[in-house]
């Protein structure tokens, strides 16, 4: 078991090394893409800073809490986009039949699909995430470690949700745009102050659209650590991961080798 895990880690590092080499074939383009991602992120954050400067707080959340949210959310999306972006391309693989290439490898199919794509520009999300943490006002060694752990759990939820909506392609054709729209709605919910969601909206925020595991629990854990909140975050993130894997395996049973939608 240990040897297998080490083998997967080595393969993962090798694939990421190849992605990095490809991305930095043109160093100037790569750095410009990263810089533009940082500029884009801070332009969005600036909008929220203006809102909080004028309004003061929103249901108990100040700009400090929003900065923590952006720290976790940007780091989580960077983890996903850099190391598991292939799950977003799954509908394309299913539609054109290139999923066969992954099914014939001796490695785990889902693993190979997930790491097949990477976007270098999203290193800018890491830069933004760490910058927002240090601007949040909640800076300490403990909060820094909790931010890293929360970001990793949020990345798992992000990956799991993207994988599940991508699996729609096993049951219907041309679902790439639909999946992208649902995923964007998920990220939009995650980017709002979690304090505005109460009652039934909060339940929806933690189940059907599990954005609360990116915003609500991580921020509360970093601000006021509690084992119960950490337990819910871990349970929710790995629970959604387990569910997404089950959905993928169930959908894979419907896949026909060389399936190409639209060909008569």
Per residue in 87-102, pLDDT (tens digit) is 999 998 988 888 888 8
How far apart are alpha carbons 22 and 18 in whole angstroms? 6
CB 119 within 8 A of CB 85: yes
pLDDT band at 258 (very low <50, low <70, confident <90, very high): low
For residues 224-239, give the mean pLDDT: 91
Lowest mean per-residue pLDDT among 1-10, 64-73, 127-136, 151-160: 1-10
For residues 190-215, give the mean pLDDT: 76
pTM of the model: 0.90
pLDDT band at 1 (very low <50, low <70, confident <90, very high): low
More confident residue, 181 or 194: 181
Share of the chain above pLDDT 70, in %: 94
pLDDT band at 259 (very low <50, low <70, confident <90, very high): very low
Q: Closest Cα partner for 87 from 116, 107, 108?
A: 116
Q: What are phi and psi of 58, to 5 degrees?
A: -125, 105
Strand, coil or helix: 55: helix
Lowest mean per-residue pLDDT among 50-59, 177-186, 238-247: 50-59
CB 240 within 8 A of CB 156: yes
Per-residue pLDDT at 263: 39
Residue 25 in this model has a pLDDT that exceeds 50: yes
Q: What is the DSSP letter of 116?
A: T
Mean pLDDT of all residues belonging to the chain: 86
pLDDT band at 262 (very low <50, low <70, confident <90, very high): very low
Q: Helix/strand/coil (H, E, C) string of 67-95?
A: HHHHHHHHHHHHHHHHHCHHHHHHHHHHH
How far apart are alpha carbons 257 and 75 in whole angstroms? 36
How far apart are alpha carbons 34 and 40 in whole angstroms? 10
CB 192 within 8 A of CB 69: no
How far apart are alpha carbons 208 and 195 in whole angstroms? 18
**Residues whose CB falls within 8 Å of the CB of residue 20, separated by 6 or more in sequence, listed in order:** 118, 120
CA distances from 122 to 32, 99, 255 (A): 12, 25, 31
Residue 214 in this model has a pLDDT that exceeds 90: no
pLDDT band at 39 (very low <50, low <70, confident <90, very high): very high
């Amino acid at each position: 078991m240990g040897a297998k895990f080490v083998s997967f880690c080595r393969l993962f590092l090798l694939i990421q090394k190849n992605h990095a080499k490809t991305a930095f074939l043109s160093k100037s383009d790569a750095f410009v893409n990263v810089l533009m991602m940082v500029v884009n992120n801070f332009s969005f954050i600036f909008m929220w800073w203006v809102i909080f400067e004028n309004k003061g707080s929103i249901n108990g959340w100040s700009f400090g809490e929003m900065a923590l949210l952006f720290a976790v959310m940007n780091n989580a999306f960077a983890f996903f986009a850099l190391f598991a972006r292939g799950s977003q391309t799954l509908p394309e693989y299913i539609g054109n039949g290139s999923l066969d290439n992954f099914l014939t490898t001796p490695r785990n199919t889902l693993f190979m699909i997930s790491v097949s794509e990477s976007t270098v520009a999203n290193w800018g999300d890491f830069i933004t995430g760490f910058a927002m943490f240090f601007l949040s006002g909640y800076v300490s060694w403990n909060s820094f470690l909790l931010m890293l752990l929360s970001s990793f759990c949020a990345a798992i939820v992000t990956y799991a949700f993207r994988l599940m909506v991508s699996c729609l392609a096993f049951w219907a054709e041309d679902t790439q745009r639909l999946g992208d729209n649902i995923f964007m709605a998920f990220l939009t919910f995650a980017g709002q102050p979690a304090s505005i969601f109460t009652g039934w909206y909060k339940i929806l925020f933690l189940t059907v659209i599990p954005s609360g595991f990116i915003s609500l629990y991580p921020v509360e854990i970093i601000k006021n650590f509690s084992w119960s909140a950490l337990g819910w975050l871990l349970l929710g993130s790995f629970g959604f991961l387990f569910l997404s894997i089950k959905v993928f395996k169930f959908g894979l049973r419907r896949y026909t080798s060389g399936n190409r939608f639209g060909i008569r």
